Structure 1
Amino acid sequence: MLIIFDWDGTILDSSDKIVACMQAGAREFGVEACAAEDIRNIIGLELSIAIATLYPELSADGVEALRAAYVRSFILADQQPCQMFAGVEESLRALKAAGHDLCVATGKSRRGLDRVFAGLPISSLFSASRCADETASKPDPLMLAQLCAERGYEPASALMVGDTEYDLEMASRIAMPSVGVSYGVHSVARLQRWQPLAVIDYFSGLLPIVGELSR
């Protein structure tokens, strides 16, 4: 079975860092820092789209300047790596050992994902990934369609796992089953709008769901 995972807020406990770096980038750029909840709402979108959503008054040049300030802040903060959520590594290894094909679909840039991959013991478990600077941003389902085509699966026989409504919406738009996680940035109510198979409270809760789907 093809299982496609979101990254930030699903596998990596990085939302607090993203919020802090966006606020630091805003201060460096010279605009008012947005509230943490507003920033959490845009996690998962491609970075320039996220910034334009937070600051609709900015010109295209302004968005790119604030993006650069955020990236500088994030790279500096990356000297203290984020941790994976509890049970992630063990569960991913169990899924891989059971023969499942694991991929990543993320709003991160390719450079950003590769930088994180380099410091984690799970990168070799993933057979493919798509980043927001390589394809259309979530909730457009293009990155899911591309991963399915690359790995040789129909969307209906794959599974999307994520913590935001952007993840579940893009799965819904190509009739791909999905599972939400409740420990990320969007509320269970927002996730339930997209009719996931389940919303799990801990990562290892995915294992019995995949087991049932694989019968």
Structure 2
Amino acid sequence: MLFVFDWDGTLLDSTDKIAGCMQKAIAELGLPERSTEQAKSIIGLGLPEAVQTLFPEIDKAIIPEVTAAYSRHFVADDQTPCDFFPNVDDVLKQLRAEGHLLAVATGKSRRGLNRVLANMSLTDFFDGSRCADETASKPDPLMLNQLLQELDVEVSSAVMVGDTDFDLGMAANAGMRSIGVSYGAHSVERLLPHKPVRIIDRFEELLEWG
């Protein structure tokens, strides 16, 4: 089985940090304030798409300034790194030991994902990964389709695990099963319309599935 994981809000407890850094970037550029819940609502999208969603009427020429400001604040905050949610590390290692393939499909940039993987000594842990700046942003299914092709796995032998409706929508668009987590950026009510095969409250519940 191929398990494809979203990163922020699914594996890593980073949604508060992401929302806070986005709010700092917005304030830096003098844009209208957005609440923490509004900032969390766009987690999972690529950065340009996230800014466009938060500010539908924004001049597109300003979007790179916002994304650059966000990235500066996020990197500056690396001195207080985020941790995995409880039991994530142990569950991932057990899934690998059982012979499953593990991949990441994230709205992070490639540079951002590589940095956090290096910081957590996980550079060579996952079998594959796709980031929003090297393919289409969620909920487009392209990154999942690319991972399936790269790892030579049929869609029927894969499952997407995520905390946002962008994750589960991407899986639905790819014809892939999905599992939602209840503890991330989006409410369970936002996940259910995509018909996940299961909603889990604790990461270790993955071991009970399938």
What is the identity percentage for the equivalent residue pairs of Structure 1 and Structure 2? 52
- Following the alignment from structure 1 to structure 2, what is the Cα–Cα distance between the partners of residues 123 and 176? 26
Q: 1:19, 1:157 → 2: CA distance?
A: 34
* 1:110 equivalent in structure 2: 110
Partner of residue 25, structure 2: 25
SS in 2 for 1:66: helix
Q: Which residue of 2 aligns with 1:83?
A: 83
Shift of 1:57: 2.3
Q: How does 1:191-202 map to 2 (within 5 A)?
A: 191-202=191-202
Alignment-derived partner of residue 173 in structure 2: 173
Q: Distance in 1 between matches of 2:91 and 2:201?
A: 14
Shift of 1:59: 1.3
**Superposition RMSD in Å:** 0.9
3-state DSSP of counterpart to 2:132: coil
Does the 8 A contact of 2:107 with 2:131 survive in 1? yes
Question: Does the Cα contact within 8 Å between 1:24 and 1:33 map onto a contact in 2?
Answer: no
8 Å contact 1:139–1:170 — kept in the other structure? yes
How far does residue 189 in structure 1 lie from its aligned partner after superposition?
A: 1.3
The alpha-carbon deviation at position 124 of structure 1 amounts to 2.8
Cross-structure match for 1:68: 68
Q: Does the CA-based 8 Å contact 1:22-1:33 persist in structure 2?
A: no
Q: Unpaired runs of 5+ in structure 2?
A: none
Classify the secondary structure of the residue corresponding to 1:186.
coil
Per-residue CA distance 1:169-199 (angstroms, 9 max, x = gap)? 1111122111000000111111111111100
**Change over 3 Å in CA distance of 1:123–1:205 after alignment to 2:** farther
Structure 1 unmatched runs, 5+: none
Q: What is aligned with 2:203?
A: 203
TM-score of the pair, normalised by structure 1:
0.95
How far apart, CA to CA, are the structure 2 residues paired with 1:20 and 1:118?
A: 23
Q: How does 1:76-155 map to 2 (within 5 A)?
A: 76-155=76-155
Q: Matched residues in 1 for 2:68 and 2:173: separation?
A: 32
Query: What's the counterpart of residue 41 of structure 1?
Result: 41
Letter in 2 for 1:165: D
Number of aligned positions between the proteins: 210
1:53 maps to a residue whose letter is T
CA drift at 1:151: 0.2
The 3-state SS of whatever aligns with 1:51 is: helix
Q: Deviation at 1:123?
A: 3.9
Note the C-alpha offset of 1:157.
1.3
2:23–2:33 contact (8 Å) kept in structure 1: yes
Q: CA deviation at 1:126?
A: 0.4
